[in-house]
């Protein structure tokens, strides 16, 4: 009905040319507005898909964090049990700590996390590395991978030495001080999300040595065959294993980013 009404006024007689012009202008404006809306939504959906694709290559789909550290024996037992579950592709150890990087009078806080060549994130980071090389993360080098926003704020480049400050104290004859370690920038990555500004990567053995963990771990990093089932798997595994641990899916850890993107879509 709307189409025929619009067509009637668009094709008005010669003595109604003004009405015809207004009708054509209105229809054209509506067409341009709808086309612009479709284009904007398509771009936003594409951006959403691209960001999720990049994130899923560099971060675990599920993380299990224990209150106490895991011995290698306990880790292997849990690893084998988790691998027996559906949709699980790989299980790797997790070593993590909150830390602060300091250089050139600037300070940045972030999560320090282990990265080994066996970890699926290793390949993902290699694709998003804009400076340096992953080979610089060899055990004993105490090299770190940082995001491009972090590198810019600290004013550092490849090879620069920076101070890593840990949330634990060292007792000395003159008092207690935060534990620190000099590390060097081994590479700079750019994923295009909050991971760039909030994550520091280091070789697993180097982190264990800095944190004085011996051979122990903080938890598990799990990669899934279908990462979009992570939240469902989290609830399922949490019920199956009944561990005194915190299960976190990638949707939970990136909830703030995804809520902001969803809000933008609704506004549009």
Tokens standing for residue 266: 């609704």
Q: Is the pLDDT score of 47 beyond 50?
A: no
Q: CA dihedral in degrees (20, 21, 22, 23; nearest 10)?
A: 50
Contact assessment for residue 149 and residue 208, using Cβ atoms and an 8 Å cutoff = no
Contacts of 39 (CB under 8 A, 6+ apart): none
Strands (E), 148-191: 161-172, 175-189
| Residue range 13-38: mean pLDDT, rounded | 62
First to last CA, the chain: 28
| Residue range 135-140: mean pLDDT, rounded | 84
In 3D, which of 192, 193, 210 has the Cα closest to residue 144?
Answer: 210
| 3 state DSSP class of 214 | coil
Q: Is the pLDDT score of 217 beyond 80?
A: yes
| 3 state DSSP class of 121 | helix
Q: How far apart are CA 268 and CA 262, in angstroms?
A: 10
Q: Is the pLDDT score of 257 beyond 90?
A: no
| Residue range 249-254: mean pLDDT, rounded | 84
Residue 13's φ and ψ, nearest 5 degrees, are -70, 175
Tokens standing for residue 198: 């909030």
| Residue range 16-30: mean pLDDT, rounded | 62
Query: Domain ranges in the chain?
Result: 1-55, 60-262
Q: Is the pLDDT score of 167 beyond 90?
A: no
Contact assessment for residue 233 and residue 224, using Cβ atoms and an 8 Å cutoff = yes
- pLDDT band of residue 138 (cuts 50, 70, 90) is confident
Q: Is the pLDDT score of 40 beyond 70?
A: no
In 3D, which of 119, 118, 98 has the Cα closest to residue 109?
Answer: 98
| Residue range 82-104: mean pLDDT, rounded | 93
Q: Is the pLDDT score of 43 beyond 70?
A: no
pLDDT of 191 reads 84
| Residue range 142-151: mean pLDDT, rounded | 93
pLDDT of 206 reads 95
Per the prediction, the chain carries an average pLDDT of 81
Residue pLDDT, tens place only, 51-83: 566 677 778 899 999 988 999 999 999 999 999
Q: Is the pLDDT score of 152 beyond 60?
A: yes
């Amino acid at each position: 009905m709307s189409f025929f009404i619009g067509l009637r006024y668009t094709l008005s007689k010669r003595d109604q040319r003004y009405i015809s012009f207004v009708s054509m202008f209105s229809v054209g404006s509506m067409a341009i507005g709808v086309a612009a809306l479709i284009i904007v939504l398509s771009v936003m959906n594409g951006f959403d898909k691209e960001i999720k694709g990049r994130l899923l290559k560099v971060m675990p789909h599920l993380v299990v964090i224990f209150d106490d550290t895991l011995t290698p024996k306990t880790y292997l037992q849990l690893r084998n049990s988790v691998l027996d579950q559906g949709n699980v592709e790989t299980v790797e150890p997790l070593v993590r700590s909150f830390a602060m990087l300091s250089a050139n009078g600037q300070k940045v806080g972030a999560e320090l996390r282990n990265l080994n060549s066996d970890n699926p994130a290793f390949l993902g980071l290699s694709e998003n590395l804009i400076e340096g090389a992953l080979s610089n993360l060899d055990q004993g080098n105490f090299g770190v991978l940082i995001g491009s926003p972090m590198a810019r704020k600290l004013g550092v480049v490849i090879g620069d030495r920076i101070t890593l400050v840990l949330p634990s104290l060292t007792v000395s004859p003159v008092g207690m001080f935060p534990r620190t370690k000099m590390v060097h920038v081994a590479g700079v990555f750019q994923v295009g999300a909050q991971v760039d500004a909030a994550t520091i990567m280091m070789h697993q053995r180097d982190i264990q040595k800095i944190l004085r963990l011996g051979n122990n771990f903080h938890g598990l990093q799990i990669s899934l065959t279908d990462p979009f089932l992570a939240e469902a798997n989290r609830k399922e595994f949490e019920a199956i294993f009944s561990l005194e641990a915190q299960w976190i899916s990638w949707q939970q850890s990136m909830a703030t980013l995804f809520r902001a993107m969803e809000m933008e879509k609704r506004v549009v």
